[in-house]
Structure 1
Amino acid sequence: MPTSARPAPGELPPPVEGAERIRTVQQPKGTLTSTRSKARRAAVDLLFEADQRGLNAGDLLDQRVATPAGQSPLREYTVRLVRGVVENWNGINEVLATYSRGWPLERMPAVDRAILRVGAWELEYNDDVPAGVAISESVELAKALSTDDSPTFVNGLLSRIAQVVGDSGTTEQEPEGDRAL
């Protein structure tokens, strides 16, 4: 019986006759790789968890800061995002409800609400992030975490909000009759 040579390190063994070829694992669509992208993802995860468990997001954040659930503590930007959303909760929800024509917050999927809250906070309250980046990052989160229709919805709603946010970061009054997305 012939003996087969072992493959060199880093090489794949020759295919076994009759076996199906194994596909390589690819990065999922909407992969988030930058430090801030990962911080946004963690903020969305925390807001989503609080929503699903019926907890106050600020209290859950405080628990996670005191006792991290994972091996590493929360990123500074994750903490900033969640605290910002919690501190401006009513204003963010009001803006989202105003411009999400026909979609009350309660009707939106919980993950979309979390993504939209993070995106809206960045648009309205964080001058460090350009509007295009905030929207793009939120769309990528929706691609990675939500339904096929969510990226379009998130993009449309946040783009509309960005149109009415002034340079000062506060929402300007919109002319009557132009409330649609």
Structure 2
Amino acid sequence: MSARSKARTRALEVLFEAEQRSMSPLESLRSRREKTDQVINPYTMDLVEGVIAKQEQIDEFLGTYSQGWPLERMPAVDRIILRLGSWELLYNDDVPDKVAISEAVELAKSLSTDESPAFINGLLSRLHELKDSLLA
């Protein structure tokens, strides 16, 4: 597993823990640093901070284009994978768009339901098609 793939997994863990415990993701990161000997990859920080900064806009896009699946009804893991994938796809020019989608699908394959990879692929692919107009 590449360093960036590991960073994505760690960012998902941090965001999931924060949501489940009703705490800020930055508190979750701080707690991990203080209570474990986990090394936090700088890209994990970029992902977490990026999702935090753009979450309102990302959630709006996801809610608009997720045909019949409001964010609140999505499994938490899928919602967080979609936020991470959306941030990389829309706001991180260092990651090729197809890599952002592929990495999100791989996370879903390993951490979510059998239906989740196709759903995540479809929704992120739709955002990819609309990227220029979404960011205009």
TM-score (norm 1): 0.71
- Structure 2 match to 1:137: 103
* Matched position secondary structure for 2:89: helix
1:66-95 per-residue CA deviation (whole Å, 9 max, x = no partner) reads x2x432321000010000000111011111
Q: 1:112 aligns with which of 53, 66, 78?
A: 78
* Matched position secondary structure for 2:20: helix
Contact 2:32–2:38 (Cα < 8 Å) also in 1: no
Task: Point out 4+ residue stretches in structure 1 off by more than 3 angstroms.
Answer: 62-65
Contact 1:85–1:117 (Cα < 8 Å) also in 2: yes
Structure 2 residue ranges without an equivalent (≥5): none
Contact 1:124–1:165 (Cα < 8 Å) also in 2: yes
Taking the aligned partners of 2:8 and 2:135, their CA distance within structure 1 comes to 26
- Structure 1 match to 2:42: 76
Q: Which amino acid aligns with 1:45?
A: E
Contact 1:61–1:82 (Cα < 8 Å) also in 2: no
- Alpha-carbon offset, residue 46 of structure 1: 0.8
- Alpha-carbon offset, residue 59 of structure 1: 2.9
Q: RMSD of aligned C-alpha atoms?
A: 1.5
Structure 1 residue ranges without an equivalent (≥5): 1-32, 174-181
- Structure 2 match to 1:50: 18
Matched-pair identity in %: 55
Contact 2:82–2:124 (Cα < 8 Å) also in 1: yes
Q: 1:94 aligns with which of 60, 63, 67?
A: 60
Q: Which has the larger radius of gyration?
A: 1
Taking the aligned partners of 2:31 and 2:55, their CA distance within structure 1 comes to 19
Q: Which amino acid aligns with 1:92?
A: I
Taking the aligned partners of 1:70 and 1:144, their CA distance within structure 2 comes to 24
* Matched position secondary structure for 1:165: helix
TM-score (norm 2): 0.93
